[in-house]
Structure formats: structure tokens, C-alpha cells
Amino acid sequence: MTSKQRAYLKSLAAGLNPVFQVGKSGLTPDVTDAVEECFNNNELIKIAVLKNCVEDPAEIANTVAERTHSQVVQIIGKKIVLYRPDKDNPKISLPV
């Protein structure tokens, strides 16, 4: 992903609300499965890491991205943005 594409995705993610929250139990398989399912409807999702979570947001982002075959767009504080294009019908067209 180029920096121009990443900047475009960041601008799209600015208006998104987090669809998942990772709490004190950390990154569980249920959270990973829910994120995977969310990618069936959305290409760009935002995840919030709550204050009571002891895991590092960067580690959570990398783990979820690896498990869901997505890409980390950005990590700002305790907010994570992930992108995975739809294989059949992509809704977001990235700049070249």
C-alpha cells in the first residue's frame, strides 16, 4: 500500500465509529471472528482498544490483521483502522 492510498483510507476512516471494542479480556478468538465477519460487509473498519486492556494496540492491530488477512491503515492512540478489499465487488477504489 502506498502512502497516497494510506492517506486516502485515513480520510475515509475519520468519519467512522468503532465497530468493535477490545476490553480487559484482550484479543479473544471471538473478537477476531467478529472482525472477520464484519469484513464481509465493510472494507474499512475501526476498532477501539479500551483503557482497561493491558495489551498494546499495535500488537492487537498486527495480530488481527494477520488473522483476517487485512492491512493496518493506522493506529492512533487506542484506535485501530484496518482495510481489506472485497475480492468480488470492491467498494473502495484506491488512488493509483
Report the run of H or E that residue 62 belongs to, with start and end: helix 57-68
Please list the residues that pair with 22 across neighbouring strands.
49
pLDDT number for residue 40: 87
Contact 26, 55 (CB under 8 A): yes
pLDDT number for residue 25: 87
Sorted by sequence, the CB contacts under 8 Å of residue 4 that are 6+ apart come out as 95
Q: What is the pTM of this model?
A: 0.90
**22-77 residue pLDDT tens:** 988 888 888 899 999 998 888 999 999 999 988 999 999 999 999 999 999 999 99
pLDDT number for residue 18: 92
If one compares 14 and 89, the residue with the highest pLDDT of the two is 14
3-83 CATH, one of 2.40.160.10, 1.10.3720.10, 3.30.110.60, 3.30.70.20:
3.30.110.60
Give Cα 50 distance to the centre of its chain: 15
Domain ranges for the chain: 3-83
pLDDT number for residue 66: 94
Taking alpha carbons only, the member of 2, 3, 46, 47 closest to residue 26 is 47
pLDDT number for residue 1: 82
